[in-house]
Structures are given as structure tokens and as C-alpha cells.
Structure 1
Amino acid sequence: MGGYKVLNNKNKFSVTRLLVIPVVLVLGVSVFLLVKRMEGTPPTIELTLESPNLGLNQTIPLKVADAKSGLRDVQVVLIKDGQEIALFSKTYPSAGVFSGGVVREEDLRIEFDASAKGVIDGKAVLRLMVRDFSWRDWMGGNENRQELEVAIDTRPPGIDVLSRANYFAQGGAGLVAYKVSEECRTSGVTIGETFYPGFKSPFGSSDIYLAMIAVAYRQGPGTPVYATAVDLAGNQTRVSLPHLINARRFKQDKIPLSDSFLDWKMPEFANQVSAGAGASNVDIFLKVNSDLRKANYETIKQLTANPDGQIHWEGDFLRLPAAAPRAGFADHRSYIYKGKKIDEQTHMGIDLASLEQASVPAANAGKVVFSDTLGIYGGTILIDHGLGLFSMYSHLSQMIASPGQMVSKGETIGKTGVSGLAGGDHLHYSMLVHQTLINPVEWWDSTWIRNNISTKIEAVKR
């Protein structure tokens, strides 16, 4: 009887243990879920408005996220003159009571149409509210509520073009002076599809801007020209600019390619292009003249992307002394090899030949932004003269001026040479307005500068 009782006690103990373990596990899981689902971190809100001004039609970019419990809902409300105007509302799906929300983050683009919402100009408050699927607040979730003071501005900026006489040559440049009625995000002149930004004038009132512009060599008569402005609220104005573009015809030229030239020049370019194993000199040349030329222009575009807004130049631009022209701006070149045309390109500068390794003067005062080797251009120096005007000197054998250096008009910056894709000692001289290559001849003409640039600047000073 005694042995039976002991065995019975062991069985009771085993049964008790079997009952306790599940209870403990259930309690543990319950506590874990409770702690997890009762988390107290609110959702995040990222609002990336360029300005606290809301225009007539505007997109409000908003990013919402909740990594722990998932997004429950989003609301965007505009409070104006005591009235709440709903701009946006979205509810997100749940993955289950224990799992939280399905969506953890989302980038939203909320379209604001002041006219459709009946909103008039004036001060307002933008309220953003986001909740998650936490069990906090009696299952209501954590809430992030933010309010931002904004100004409703539905009126487009006014533009008054001060430069009435606007005569341009195909491939040439010019300057437009204009006045805006309010502070603007951007303003300038658009020619065709190319935008040329304006800079605040260092003379006269603070609402006057100067835009250096260019008519690309392919843009002839009939190309539309507009003065444009976008205010802080995103409202845009476009005013047609009275103008005349004089058409130009550019030279057609044939460039013979000899084996001696290719044998001389192509080895230095072999590692700059991908012509493939066993590529001939002609294959390498075609890659250099096309792919490398395009890549070099992309570099030039980057170098001219952020010009100095101050005017550094004065008067006409200097030409390489005692130099004869060897090729003109926008000459259309056909490259001939063994009697056949194998390529064609446009020559976007003027070639000037003087003595070998002749001293090259800075055409005008400015800041050196590049002084290095640049593919087909060889040794190259690029100078920022202000307002988006640049001069470029290529095929140099020596580069004396350094990046960041301010140079004066006539100061020696380098020596002519045969670097890059040059067949003989010369200077390839180019000028640009922002990223558009222009005809340098205009800038060697003091009369043209006075009639088209200086008089407009002087008028602003008065």
C-alpha cells in the first residue's frame, strides 16, 4: 500500500507540472504581445515643402512611416479663417489584431487646388495627423499631429521686361534686364526649351534681374523667347519677349584623316574609350570623335552649372595676338578617310594659330574653374566671367592658371600646343553662356558689346 501511495504522488506532481507549463507559456506570450502591441512610438511625418507658401495649384509631398505597428490612417487639413478644409484622408488595412498594419511607410503626393477648395489668399494652418495600429489609447493607436503656418498665395508674379530691343544672331548671345513684382523661386529667360536664369542686378533696385542668354546655333528665326518667373508659392508667369533672330548659315568643311595622323594621335586615346580588343585606329577615332566628345561636353556642362552672379568682365574680349583663324564657329565637318566620309561633327569654337607655344592671354577678367586635361580638348582652361558667361582655351601645352584663381584681362594663363585631338599647334577658343556654346566673334567686337550688353546694364544703373 505504501509503494502505491508514493507512485500516486509522483503522478500528481507530473500532472501539475504539465498544467503549469502551458499556463506559463500562455502568460509569457501574452505579456510579449502586450508589450509589443502596446508600444508607444508615434508614426513619423516628413513634409518637404520648398516654401511655406501654397500656390493656386501645388503638390504637397508627404512621407509617413511607422516601423513597429504599421500605419492606420492619415489626414491633412487646412485651417483657414476658422474653417477646417479637408485636403486628404487615407485609411490603411490591418494585417490582424496581433500583427498591426500592412503598410509601414508611404510617400504621398497631395494635390492642393485652392480654387476647387474655395480657398482665398491669406494666412492659414496646415494640420497633419497620422495614427498607427498600436493598442495604446484604448486601441486607438499612437498619433503624431503637426501644424505648420502657411500663406495662401494664388496670384502669379508680375514681370516687366526692361530690355525692349532684343536682337540676336543665330549662335549668338544677348542680355535681358527685367523686373519682378515679388521674391521668386526662379526667374529668367527661356529660348526654345532652354532656360537661362537671371541674377539679381548689382545695380539699381533689388527687384531687377539680369539674364545672360544664348541662341544655339541650331535655333533660327521663329524660336520662341519668353521671360519666366515662378514665385515662392509655385505660381508661374510667362511673358513673350519681343525679339528678332537673324539667321546664319555655317560653313561646310571636309577634314582629311591620314594614317600618319591616326598613328600619332590614337594611342593616347586608346585608354579613354571602349573600342574593343583589336580595334583599329579608325575604330578608336570614331569612338573618340563621338563618345568621348559627348562625355567631354557633359563635363563642361557640370563645370558651368553654377556660375558666379557677379560681373567680372569689362569691355571687349581679347583675341589670341597675331593669330590667323583656321576654323570657324559651328563649321559642319565631314571627316574623310581614304576618300570616304566616315564621320561628321560640328566645330563649336574658333581655331587660332600663331607661333608654336604662343602665350595665351585671358580674354577678360574672371575666375578659373577648370585647369586640366579634358579628352579631345587636351590641356584646357575654363574661366567664369560672371552672369553665366564663360571662355574656354584648349589644346594647351602648358596650363599656368590654377582652379580658383582670379585672373585679369590679358594675363597669361597658358601656352598653345597640340594636346588632345589637335593636328597642329593652335588654340581652340570657345565661349559659353551657361551650357550653350556661342560664337566668340561677337565678344571681340566692342560695338556689338556696347549695343547689346553694356547699354542694357547702364540703363539698369540709372
Structure 2
Amino acid sequence: MYRNRSRINPKIFIFLILTLAIAYGVFHFLTSPKFEQNPPKIEIADEIYWNLISPLKVKISDDTGVKSIKVSLNDGENLIPLKDEEYGISQKELEIAVEFPKNLILNKDKKYKLHIEAGDISAWNFTKGNKIDKVVNIIIDNKKPLINLVANSYKITKGGSAVVVFSASDEMLDEVFIRTNYGKIFKATPFVKEGYYASLVAWPANEDEFRAEIVATDKAGNVSSSQIRYFYSDKKYKVSQIKLSENFLSGKVSDLASQHAQNFNSMSDLDKFKFVNETLREQNAKDLHAFTSRVHEDMISEFSLHPFYPLAKGAAVASFADHRLFFLNSEQVSESWHMGLDLASVANADIKESNYGVVVFLQDNGIYGLNLGVYYGFGVYGVYAHCSNSALSVGDQVKPNDILAQTGATGFAFGDHLHFGIVVQGVEVRPEEWMDPKWIKDNVSDVLESAKKVIEKGK
């Protein structure tokens, strides 16, 4: 009788199945996240300037979790331990601060290396996990940058502007800027030649006090600062108390709220007003500040502007920094600051340019209506709002006597007029200063020119 000799022995078959199952299990086990083979990542530059005072920030990350960190400093002869930690609770990302021992003095002439070792919680390598070592060259530098004031405006008025020129030097200079007491940072632009800087600064009309200081930092973390000695001139601005009426609330207020508020249908008339006067105003101001905060030049050697006269025979109908308090039934319900000068002449009047500039902003901007922004250099911008029409486009170059736009009543305007503003690095300032030829000459042009002569004389 014929027999099928190709039949597989059941024991062998079972053995093969078990072997495959075990192999699959081992493979699955070894390829599980617990056995990942990727070492931690250490984020720090290969070369660091260190003043031995500021802690060195080191970022460490791992797919499964960081288990241990060791940091030491090698001077070529000795290994100085700085940090040695084991983490009971692993973290996939952490940042450590490496501090230099206070009782140790280093020789600046030696070359130092920072050794960083990190291990993870992986069960790979017989449960020892993955490790990584990184060596960083350390350059010791505890010498602060030098700051020297060259020239500055004599005074700054609340709501106004001023200029400063100075030098800052350090072999490893990193940042140079102007810092104010109210948190604003003004960019310092390189001026005339390397090592010299100039900046316009601004004192907001709604800030009672103003202080500004020059700040220079180097790559090692050393910081120098120098107060700018201005004469501070206080100024009182108008406070207006405005009673809200039903006609006022149901007119343009309702129109603007219907265009911009998502829950318009559930709003009361007062809710609509508060939305327009507070929420929408704040958002529009943020947009305005965003496009007027930048200084576009990498270096300047001079700067001067002609006085601004945007509206021929225009009369002022609302002042800059008018603090408006709104009342309903004798109760104050809202407030706002009017950060521009309102000028009016006739309907759809031509708005004329007084200087050379470039259009950087042209769009509907809520309460500002059709809003045009022009950059004039050195962080100075002109803002033209409530326009009815403009033939310009973003990127267009403009020159004196060009027509920028026509006046109108777009946005939160109740009659045809121009809202004219001057902004210095994102801060609204008194347009009246920039409409005064003597103020421009005394506080900006002459200061920059005299500083330039000092700098060039020192070449």
C-alpha cells in the first residue's frame, strides 16, 4: 500500500509552532518601548561663554524617560563635579541649571571642558539603559560690556519721544537694547559705524512715570546697564466724560458689533458697546502695534523728517491721549484712550504725504476703519485711519505731496475726519511733536547730527 512519506511529525510541528511563538514573543518584547535603543538628547552648544555666575541651561530629552544626569568640569588636570542626580520619576523632557561652585576659583588662562552624561530608563543593555556623553568647550568671561553715552535729547515729555546715541563694546557682545520701566524694549539700531547705536524711545501717555536704560549683554551672560538722563516733563491730558444715549448705542456701535462679534444676537446694547470699545479696540490696537513695532534698517547714518501736515486747512476736532470715560444712567460702564489726533476739513478731503516712506499696512481694521500705515525709517510710522478710499497698495513708495487717501467715516467714526497718529516702535506718541519743525530739529535731527560728528571725529 502507498504511504505519504511527506507527512510532518506532529511533535516537530508543535515544536516549530512553539519556537515561532517564542521568537515572536522575544522579538515583540525586545522591540517594545521598554527596550528602545535611542540614547537621550542633550541640547547645548558645543562652545559656551560662561561668566561663572549665570547658571548654564541644559535641555535633555529621551523617548522613554531620563533616569540620570552627571555634569563635571575638566580643567585638564582635575575633574570637578557639578551635578550628579538620579530621578525616581522619569521625565521625557527636562531642563537643568548648572551652577559653578561658589568657593572655587578658576584660572582664566586654562581651557575648560564641561562633561555631560545622561542615561535613560530603557531596559536595553541588560537593563543598564542607553547613555550619551557630550563635551562642551567652556570659555570663561566675567568682564562686562562697556557702555558710553554719546548724545541724547535733553528732555522727554509724557506721551512724547526722545532719542539716544551710545556705544557698546565687548569682544563677545551679544545684545544691545533700551529697556524701560514699563516693560517695553526698544531696538537700538547700529549708527554710523560698528560699535555705535541709536534709538528713539517713547513715554506712553497712560504711564505716569518713565525711565529708560541702555542694556548690553555678552555671550557669557554678563550684563551692563546705564540710565539715560532725560529731563522728565509731565503733561496733563484731557479727560472726557461721555453720556451714552440709545441712539448712540443702536447706530454705528451696533453695525460694528454685528460685523465682528460672534454672539451679536444675544448681546444687549451695552454689551455691544463694551465689545466695540474694549474687546474690538484692544484687538485692533494689537494689530496696529504688530505692524508698527519693527525697525527695518540694519544701520543708519542720519535721520530727519519734515513736519507732518496731512490735511490742508484741517482743524483739530479731538486731541491725542484723551481719556474717555463712558457713562450710562450716571454709572461709568467703559473707558478708552484716544491715541491719535483727529483732523477735519471737508468730506473726502485728500490726505497728503509730507515725507518719504513706504506703505506697510492698508486694510480695514475694525474701529479704525480703512487704516493706512506708512513707515518713515528709524522705527517711526504714520497711521491714517477712517479713510474712505486709497489708491495705494502695501509696498508702494510715497513722497512729499503724494495723495495717501481720502478722509471718511469708516470704522468707529461719527463724522468725516482723519485720525492721524505717529507710532515709535509700536508706541503711540504725540503727533503734535512731529508736526513741529523746531521740536524735530532740537530733539531728533540736531542730536543725531552732533553725535555723528563725534563718532566720525573719533575714526
Letter in 2 for 1:353: A
Match of 1:295 in 2: 283
1:62 is paired with a residue of what secondary structure? Answer: strand
| Displacement after TM superposition at 1:151 (Å) | 2.1
Match of 2:72 in 1: 77
Match of 1:306 in 2: 294
Match of 1:163 in 2: 151
| Displacement after TM superposition at 1:64 (Å) | 2.9
Match of 1:124 in 2: 112
Match of 2:50 in 1: 54
Match of 1:224 in 2: 211
Letter in 2 for 1:227: I
1:315 matched to 2:305: yes
Cα RMSD, aligned residues only: 3.3
Match of 1:97 in 2: none
CA distance in structure 2 between the aligned counterparts of 1:378 and 1:87, rounded to whole angstroms: 60
CA distance in structure 1 between the aligned counterparts of 2:148 and 2:60, rounded to whole angstroms: 42
Match of 2:322 in 1: 331
Match of 2:395 in 1: 404
Match of 2:183 in 1: 194
CA distance in structure 1 between the aligned counterparts of 2:411 and 2:380, rounded to whole angstroms: 24
Match of 2:61 in 1: 65
Matches within 5 A, 1:62-461: 62-67=58-63, 70-93=65-88, 103=90, 105-113=92-100, 115=102, 117-119=104-106, 121=108, 123-133=111-121, 140-163=128-151, 166-182=154-170, 184-203=173-192, 205-220=193-208, 223-255=210-242, 257-269=244-256, 270-273=258-261, 276-309=264-297, 314-319=304-309, 320-335=311-326, 342-461=333-452
CA distance in structure 1 between the aligned counterparts of 2:444 and 2:238, rounded to whole angstroms: 27
| Displacement after TM superposition at 1:256 (Å) | 5.4
Give the direction of change, closer, same or farther, for the CA distance of 1:342–1:81 in structure 2 (3 Å limit): same
CA distance in structure 2 between the aligned counterparts of 1:359 and 1:151, rounded to whole angstroms: 61
So what's the TM-score if we normalise by structure 2?
0.83
Larger displacement relative to structure 2 (332-341 or 191-200):
332-341
CA distance in structure 1 between the aligned counterparts of 2:34 and 2:368, rounded to whole angstroms: 66
Contact 1:43–1:64 (CA under 8 A) maintained in structure 2 = no
Residue by residue over 1:265-295, the C-alpha shift from the partner in whole angstroms, topping out at 9 and shown as x without a partner, is 1343123135653534443122211111111
Computing the radius of gyration over CA atoms, which structure comes out larger, 1 or 2?
1
CA distance in structure 2 between the aligned counterparts of 1:421 and 1:345, rounded to whole angstroms: 13
2:63 is paired with a residue of what secondary structure? Answer: coil
Residue by residue over 1:85-116, the C-alpha shift from the partner in whole angstroms, topping out at 9 and shown as x without a partner, is 333222245xxxxxxxx636231222334755
State the aligned residue count.
439
CA distance in structure 2 between the aligned counterparts of 1:263 and 1:349, rounded to whole angstroms: 25
Larger displacement relative to structure 2 (132-141 or 299-308):
132-141
Match of 2:3 in 1: none
Contact 2:351–2:404 (CA under 8 A) maintained in structure 1 = yes
Give the direction of change, closer, same or farther, for the CA distance of 1:184–1:255 in structure 2 (3 Å limit): farther
CA distance in structure 2 between the aligned counterparts of 1:332 and 1:249, rounded to whole angstroms: 11
Larger displacement relative to structure 2 (383-392 or 429-438):
383-392
Larger displacement relative to structure 2 (172-181 or 31-40):
31-40
So what's the TM-score if we normalise by structure 1?
0.83
1:376 is paired with a residue of what secondary structure? Answer: helix
Contact 2:152–2:162 (CA under 8 A) maintained in structure 1 = no
CA distance in structure 2 between the aligned counterparts of 1:349 and 1:338, rounded to whole angstroms: 28
Contact 2:63–2:92 (CA under 8 A) maintained in structure 1 = yes
Letter in 2 for 1:248: K
Residue by residue over 1:411-457, the C-alpha shift from the partner in whole angstroms, topping out at 9 and shown as x without a partner, is 22111100011111110011112222110111111211111111221
